Amino acid sequence: MIASHPLYRQIDTAGKGEAQLLGEMARVFAELPDDQLLLETASRNCGENAALSQRLLDEQQWQPQGVLLVQDPLMQRRNWETCRWQWRDREHAPEFISWPVFVPQVMMDAGMLRIVGAPPQGLWSVERFLSLLMGEVQRLHDDASGYGPNGKGFFGHVDVPDAVEAAWQRLMQLPGVQSRLG
């Protein structure tokens, strides 16, 4: 996505992780100096990112009062829950503020599904979007396949809204959906 973006494509993306790419964007486009950037570059998933970020802040002896979480909007809730869970035992845990840059929605337009509320160049096909979304809702469940205490234990119990759960259950009944979630 960065490599094809009209502004950001000047950044070399080869072999760089998300933190490195965002750090480079901050340097180049926001003119932030390295001493104002603290990048956690070793994590491979959301849970590791929360734990390693906490360790990095501890090593720097930083105790932030607030942390602004900006993530792919489909992963935003999971990221927020994971960070809150990672810091749950801290006396002076920061306030985690979830701020998706945009909130995509699926709508029916002339008999076709399309994504609205996302950048015009598009991040996902509708099929890919729905597949990612279905996986994220599954992870929020507090059962053996979820990431809550009764599953992988990456975060606390999440009350999935009834309307979201009902929609997820309906979509799970469609042919081929479950096989795509792994």
**Structure confidence at residue 181 (pLDDT):** 63
CA distance 36 to 60: 12
Q: What is the mean pLDDT of residues 12-17?
A: 91
Cα–Cα dist 162/181, whole Å: 21
At 28 the pLDDT is 95
Taking the C-alpha atoms of residue 171 and residue 14, their distance in angstroms, rounded to an integer, is 36
Please give the model's pTM, rounded to 2 decimal places: 0.85
Q: Is 175's pLDDT higher than 90?
A: no
Average pLDDT, the chain: 91
**CA separation for the pair 136, 14 (Å, rounded):** 27
Q: Which structure tokens are listed for 86?
A: 């990672």
How confident is the model over 128-164, as pLDDT tens digits? 898 899 999 999 999 999 999 999 999 999 999 999 9
Q: Helices then strands (H, E): number in the chain?
A: 6, 4
Q: What six digits make up the tokens of 92?
A: 């002076």
pLDDT of 182 above 60: no
Give dist(CA 38, CA 57) in Å, integer. Answer: 8
- The percentage of the chain sitting over the pLDDT mark of 70, rounded to a whole number, equals 96
Q: What is the pLDDT of residue 60?
A: 95
Average of pLDDT values for 67-92?
A: 94
At 27, the pLDDT band (50, 70, 90 cuts) reads: very high
What domains are there in the chain, each with its CATH number? 40-181 (1.10.3620.10)
Calpha distance 144→151 (Å, rounded): 4
Tokens 């950037």 -> residue: 37
Buried b / exposed e along 68-94 (16+ C-beta atoms within 10 A): ebebbbbbbbbbbbbbbbbbeeeeebb
Retrieve residue 156's tokens: 């606390």
**How far is the C-alpha of 134 from the C-alpha of 6, rounded, in Å?**
30
Q: Give residue 142's pLDDT.
A: 96
**74 band by pLDDT with thresholds 50, 70 and 90:** very high
pLDDT for 180? 62
Residue 178 confidence class, pLDDT cut points 50, 70, 90: low
